[in-house]
Structure 1
Amino acid sequence: MSATTSQKGTATTVAPTGPLEIAVSGGVVRGVERARLGMRHWRGIPYAAPPVGSLRFRSPRPVVPWQGVRDASEFGPIAMQSRDGNFIGASRTATMSEDCLTINVLRPATDVQGLPVMVFVHGGAYSVGSSAEHPRNGEALVREGGVVYVSFNYRLGALGYLDFTRFSTPERPLESNLGLRDQVAALEWVRDNIAAFGGDPANVTLFGESAGANAVTTLMATPAARGLFARAIAQSAPANAIYLPEMTAVWAEEFVELLTESIDTDGVESTSDDIAGQVLADAAAAELVEAAVSLTLKTPDAHPGTIVLSPVIDGDFLPERPLDAFKEGRAAPVPLIIGTNDREGSLFTGRLDILATTPKRIRAIFSRTKKGARKAIKAEYPGLPAKRAAADFGGDYAFWYPTVKVAERHARYHPVHFYRFDIAPRLVRLAGFDATHGLELYAIFDRMNGWFGRTMTALGGRRAFLGASRRMRAHWLAFARDGRVDETEWPRYDDDERLTLIIDKSDRVESDPRGSRRLAWQAFVPHV
C-alpha cells in the first residue's frame, strides 16, 4: 500500500491511503493485516520523544515528527533491564534501548468504529518486562470481545522508578516518577489517537497485573491521569508500594554508592549531590541497570517489607498515597475490578524472593506493631515462619491486604467488583505453587496453547482451567464494554457483605472470605 505526499514549503506531509495507514501524533504509520486471525496490528509507534541524552531522568516530551510512512509491523526496543538479575528479564535476542517509549494497537480487521479500548500495563516489579514479552497478548480479547487492545513500554528500573530529585540542580534538573509519567503520556496518546484505529477514546479500560496493577491504582490517584480512562482493573496490585521522599532519598543515595563502586569515577566523592547528578548522567544505561539489580537484592533485608522500585509521593505529580486518596474519595471516579490470586507469595522463592518471607524480615515487620496484633496475625499462618506460612504471610502483606483496603475504600464511592483467582492445574499444585502470582495471566490472555501452558496441564486440569479462563475473559470484556458485569453472577463489593467472586473449577460467590485473617491484618498493619 502506498502513500501520497505533497509539498508545503520545505515540509513533507503524507496522507493515509487505506485502513492500514493511520495518521497519528508525529506522522503516518503503516500496520499489518493478519487475515488468518481477522485482526490488524500496529507496533512500535512512538508516543513520546526518546528519553535520552539531556532527557534522561526527565518527564516525557512530545513525539518527534517523522516524514513519510513509518513501518509499524514490529515491536519497538524494550526498556533497559537485566537479563540476569533477580527477576527473569528480557530474552537474549530482545533489543533494549533507553529509546523505548513506544505503543502498540491491535484491533479486529473490520471498519467498525467506536470500539471499546483496553489498555494493558505490563508487570515485572518495575524492573523487567515489556509489551513484546508475550507477542500474542490481547488476541483472545480482540477475537472474543471486539475490542481495541493497546499495550506499551515505559521506563523501568533506575531510569524510571528511582527518585533522584535530591541530586537535582538548576543546571541538571532531575524529575520523579518517570515511569508513571510515561504511563500518563501513553494514555494521552490513546486519547488523542485511538479514534483513528476505530477505538472510542471515551471508553477506555485501564488494566494491569502486579507492578502494572500498582500502576493502575496509582494512576487512579494521579491528577494528570484524571479523565484518561473510564474504568479500571487491577490484578494482584501491591497497592501500598508507594513511598515518601524521605525513604526514596535513602535509596537514591544507596544506589549512587553502588553505582560508583562499580564504575570508574576518577576518585570523585559520591556524597556530593551535584557530582552524583553528573555520575547519573554520564553512566552507561547498562551500568544503571546493574546497580539497580544490586539495590533490589539488598533492599528486602535492609528495609524489610518495601519494594525499592516504586512510585514516590512527590507532592506534585503524585500528591498523596493512593490508599489515602481512595479513603477520602479523591481517587478517579470510575468503576473498578480488583482482586488477587489464592497464594500470591508462593512464587517468590530463590532469586525472586523480595517479600517479607524470611524470619529476619518477618521479625522486622512484627516489630512495628503491638504484641496482641502480632499474636492474632500469627494465628492466621500456623507454623510461621515455616516456608509455606511465610510465603502466604509475605504475599498477603504485599498484595492481598492492600488490595482489600483499596476495594473497601473505593466501594464507598463507586462500583467495585472483587475477585480471588483460585484455580490451578494439578502439576502447579503438586509443585507447591497453587494459584500463585501471575497465573491468571494465562487465563486472561489465553496462553494455554504455548509450551508452558501445555506443560502446566500435563497431569490434568486443562479443561477446567480453560473453562475458568473463558468465564474470566467474559467478565473483563463485559466490564470493558460499559463498566458493568452481570451482578446476578458477580455482585458488587462493599465493606458490609464483602461479596467476592471465587474463580475456580466452578465459580462461586463468598461473603468476606478469610474474614478472620482480614480482621487480624486490620489490627496489625499500622500504615494501610
Structure 2
Amino acid sequence: MTSQQNIKTHTFQISLGKILALKENGVIKAKSIRYATSERYQKPVPAEYSSDVTFPDKTPVCPQKISPLLERLIGKTDIEKFHADESTQYLTVTRPEIFKENEKLPVVVWIHGGSYEVGCGDLPTSDPSVWVKEQNIIVVSVSYRLGLFGFLGGDEKRPPNLGLFDIIEALKWIKNNIEGFGGNPENITLFGQSSGGDAIAHLMISEDIENLFQRLIIQSAPLGFRLKRCKMSLEFFQKTAFLKDEEDPLKMTESYSKFLPSFMRYGLKTSMPFCTQYGYPPLCKEEESFPKWKENAKKYDVLIGLNHDETAFYVKTAKEGLYTYLHEKILNRIVRKTTESIYEKPANIFARNYAEGGGNIYQFKIHSRVKNNYIGASHCIDLPLIFENETAWKDSELLKDVPWKHIRENGKKLRALWAEFARTGKISEDSEKPEILELRKVSL
C-alpha cells in the first residue's frame, strides 16, 4: 500500500462509518470504496464495512483482455497500475475540496463504456476532477462486472445481467451514503457512455430501481444492437460453458474470443457480443421494452445523443482488410450508414417514444469543426470534452489532428450544459453552447 506520509487527507463521516479520502488537484477523492461483493455467477450482496481503510496502490478492474483497438483509440493501458478482481464492485467519489458544511451538491454517477467487455470506472481518461471543480458537483465513478462475469448467461447457474445488478447495488449504496460526502440523494443523474449509456437506458425499465435516480445522460449508446440477440447470446453462452469452472479468471478472458459468434450469421451486432439480455431479471421481455420506457417517461429527465461520425475511427483507421483500399467517399458513406443504424435512428425512435409518454427529453449531436480532421466526431470524442485531462489523452490517435485548445474551449461549455441538466433537468435556450453541439428539446 502507498505510504500515507505527506499525503493530504480528509475524513468523511457516512452512515457506515468513516471514509478516508485524498486531497489532490483541488478535489477530494475517496477511491475504490467497495460497495458490494459477489461470488462467481452470483448476485452482488452489500459489502460489510471495514474501518481498516488504506489507499490502494492499484485500481481494481474486472478481469479483461486488453483491446488493441481501444489502445489506439484512447491510449496505452499501464497494466501495472491495475489489478484484476473478479468481484469488482468498487466506486470512487470525487467532490470539490472547498465546500460548505451541510452543503448538498448534485450527484452525477459515471457508468463507463467498453462494450460490456473492457474498462473500469476509475481511469485517467475519465478523471472528473476538472468538471467537479468547475461546476461544484459530485461525481461517483462505478466499476461493475463485465464480459463472461457480468453480461453473458442463460440459466440459473449462470444468470445474465449480473453487471446490471452490480450497478443497481452501487446506486443503492450511493442513495444511502452520498449525503455524508455532501451530495444530494434526491438529485442523482446517471451518466453513461457507449455500453454504459445502453446500461443506464435499461436501468430505467429494470426492477428494484425506484427513487434511485432522477435524470439520465445517455451518450453514444449503441441501441441499434439491443434487439434480436437471443440466438446469438445463446450460442455464445453454450460455446463458453466449458470455461465456467476455470479457476483462473484471466485464462477465461484469454479463451472466450475463439468462440465469438460469426459475423456472417448475426451481422454487425457481433462487434458487441456481450450485452444486457431481455427476459431475465431485472429486465422485461424484449417486446415490452418500448411500452415500459413510455410508461416510465414522466419519472426521469433524459438527455440523449451521439457523435456525428460515431463509427469513423473503426472504419477509417483499420490497418488491414477491405477498408484500407476503399475511396474516402465510400468510407464516409459507410460511416454515415453505420452511425445511423447503430446510434442515430435508435436514439431518434427512443426520444419520440419517450416524448409520446410525456417525458422531458433533450437530444444532442456532437460535430467536428476542425479543418482537415480525417476522423471527424468519432466514438469517444465526447470523453476528453467532459473529462479534461491533457496528459491522459496525449497519445490518443482519436485526437491526432485535434488541437487541445479546441477540446478545452468546447469542453468547458459542454461540461457547463451537462451540469445544468444534472442540477435542474433542463437546459436553458440562453445557456452558452459550444460550436460543436447541436441540441434540441424533443416535443410533439
TM-score interval (norm. to shorter): 0.7 to 0.9
- Contact 2:105–2:137 under 8 Å retained in 1: yes
Report matched runs for 1:241-260 at 5 Å: 241-243=225-227, 245-256=230-241, 260=242
1:404 maps to 348
Query: Does 1:312 pair with 2:274?
Result: no
1 CA distance for matches of 2:58 and 2:181? 17
Report matched runs for 1:200-219 at 5 Å: 200-219=184-203
TM-score under structure 1 length normalisation: 0.71
SS in 1 for 2:53: strand
1:97 maps to 85
- Of 242, 247, 252, 1:288 maps to 252
**Residue type matched to 1:104 in 2?**
T
Deviations 1:167-191 (A, max 9, x none): x4xxxx3322011111111111100
SS in 1 for 2:416: helix
Deviations 1:442-487 (A, max 9, x none): 1111234545289877766544443221211111011111211113
2 CA distance for matches of 1:385 and 1:345? 15
Query: Does 1:71 pair with 2:61?
Result: no
Query: Does 1:182 pair with 2:166?
Result: yes
Query: Does 1:199 pair with 2:183?
Result: yes
Shift of 1:98: 0.7
**Inter-CA distance 479–159: structure 2 relative to 1 (3 Å threshold):** same
Report matched runs for 1:225-236 at 5 Å: 225-236=209-220
- Contact 2:306–2:364 under 8 Å retained in 1: yes
**Structure 2 unaligned blocks of 5 or more:** 1-8
SS in 2 for 1:205: strand
**Inter-CA distance 473–416: structure 2 relative to 1 (3 Å threshold):** same
2 CA distance for matches of 1:350 and 1:159? 32
**Inter-CA distance 332–103: structure 2 relative to 1 (3 Å threshold):** farther
Shift of 1:387: 2.9
2 CA distance for matches of 1:123 and 1:210? 5
**Residue type matched to 1:196 in 2?**
G
1:60 maps to 44
Deviations 1:112-146 (A, max 9, x none): 42111010001111111112222661112211111
- Contact 2:12–2:18 under 8 Å retained in 1: yes
Query: Does 1:22 pair with 2:6?
Result: no
- Contact 1:141–1:445 under 8 Å retained in 2: yes
2:6 maps to none
SS in 2 for 1:292: helix
Query: Does 1:155 pair with 2:145?
Result: yes
Shift of 1:246: 4.5
**Inter-CA distance 210–454: structure 2 relative to 1 (3 Å threshold):** closer
**Residue type matched to 2:245 in 1?**
A
Q: Which has the larger radius of gyration?
A: 1
SS in 1 for 2:267: coil
1:107 maps to 95
Query: Does 1:39 pair with 2:24?
Result: no
Shift of 1:59: 1.0
- Of 64, 71, 77, 1:81 maps to 64
**Structure 1 unaligned blocks of 5 or more:** 1-17, 261-278, 360-382, 491-500, 513-528
2:4 maps to none
1:516 maps to none
Report matched runs for 1:388-467 at 5 Å: 388-412=332-356, 413-426=358-371, 429=373, 432-448=374-390, 450=392, 452=394, 461-467=403-409
- Contact 1:221–1:332 under 8 Å retained in 2: no
- Contact 1:86–1:352 under 8 Å retained in 2: no
- Contact 2:362–2:441 under 8 Å retained in 1: no
- Of 122, 129, 146, 1:132 maps to 122
Q: How many residue pairs get matched?
A: 419
TM-score under structure 2 length normalisation: 0.84
**Inter-CA distance 240–61: structure 2 relative to 1 (3 Å threshold):** farther
SS in 2 for 1:22: strand
CA RMSD of aligned residues (A): 3.3
**Paired-residue identity, %:** 22
SS in 1 for 2:47: coil
**Residue type matched to 1:290 in 2?**
E
SS in 2 for 1:203: strand
Deviations 1:146-175 (A, max 9, x none): 11110011111111111231xx4xxxx332
